[in-house]
Structure 1
């Protein structure tokens, strides 16, 4: 016997709760279940009908955000590893700016395990890209691909968590930082971005 599909109002309620949670958490990162339920126009009991507790709600927000980040990674297919890495960094930055609350939650140490699991496809894409760039001679080879990929991840975490993503010019700084970790000089990074002005500022799909 096949499982019955969720009722339309249940699906809409769940989506409304997630939207309300993003809104509430953007104002107060420690917003309670009651505050989120009020923001969604639902009772606490209705919210608990969809999520067992606040942590379950946070995990779903992270999972939803991760799906978007993973989709961005899958969309980058430039044959030149340098261009691919720059484009990936730019599109991920734009996505983080659009879902800043989710990005902040994902970077919270309390949710590291959930984030690592949810972003496994993205992390694998970065590793594969670094390894390809090393094989092409485009990226540094004094460090193993896994180490370079991890450094790129840590730089991205630091930039997102310590920077106002809406500040003008910060996207370029983020992309340059990632390229620098991969082994490009600041001049090489600038030349690359000048030769491919579509990279920075291109909207992700």
Structure 2
């Protein structure tokens, strides 16, 4: 007995959406102004199919950014943030997110200009912020990090400084290595930690 037609349509729709996002991320990361038509062609679907899933270019860009965020969170989870000293976990978190930011630098720079509400921006950063907050709280609880600053403040500072480091690299005022070292040094000073 074959699966019901509705189930086949849903599976086809999921495959199409996935192919569109994969193509969008790949193309937008090398050619930020690439057309929806080119994305459709690369995904093996029609332009109408792209618009059926993503009614506007901005929605497609936002969905691509969401997928990159999911990949970043998966990379963070893979580096076992609950093990070892909190300072080392913080460095692993920064390294994992930095690798993804470097891989998708053109896309991230382009999507940073999207009009986004504070709620949407908060929601997008929430999974990253949650993991960072846990590392900070662990470091404060075991005395590695100064506990006089609220974890929420330290999360906000970390995200802001990471964005600033990325902007410095994008503007070619710093190399990726210089920006990563400046970020690490700045955060350890703010956290009241001594880097190894």
- State the shift of 1:108 in Å: 3.8
Residues 65, 102 of structure 1: 8 Å contact kept: no
- State the shift of 1:132 in Å: 1.9
Q: Distance in 2 between matches of 1:142 and 1:7?
A: 51
Which runs of structure 2 are paired with 1:122-161 in the superposition (5 Å)? 122-161=128-167
- State the shift of 1:127 in Å: 1.5
The reply on whether 1:97 has 2:105 as its aligned counterpart is no
Cα offsets for 1:115-158 (capped at 9, x unmatched): 42133122112112212212222112332121111111110111
Cα offsets for 1:37-80 (capped at 9, x unmatched): 35546442232133222122122112211111222333322231
Structure 2, unaligned runs of 5 or more: none
Segment of structure 1 superposing worse, 145-154 or 53-62: 53-62
Bigger RCO (CA 8 Å, 6+ sep): 1
Q: Distance in 1 between matches of 2:154 and 2:96?
A: 20
Aligned match of 2:90: 85
Structure 1, unaligned runs of 5 or more: 193-205
Q: Distance in 1 between matches of 2:112 and 2:7?
A: 36
Q: Given the superposition, is the C-alpha separation of residues 134 and 14 from structure 1 closer, same or farther in structure 2, using an over 3 Å criterion?
A: same
Aligned match of 1:16: 19
Q: Distance in 2 between matches of 1:108 and 1:135?
A: 38
RMSD: 3.0
Cα offsets for 1:65-119 (capped at 9, x unmatched): 1111222333322231111111111111012112224433564462354342133
Residues 127, 145 of structure 1: 8 Å contact kept: yes
Segment of structure 1 superposing worse, 52-61 or 5-14: 5-14
State which of 160, 183, 189 in structure 2 corresponds to 1:180: 189
Which runs of structure 2 are paired with 1:1-40 in the superposition (5 Å)? 4-6=7-9, 10-38=13-41, 40=43
The normalised TM-score by structure 1 is: 0.73
Aligned match of 1:202: none
The normalised TM-score by structure 2 is: 0.76
Paired residues in the alignment total: 186
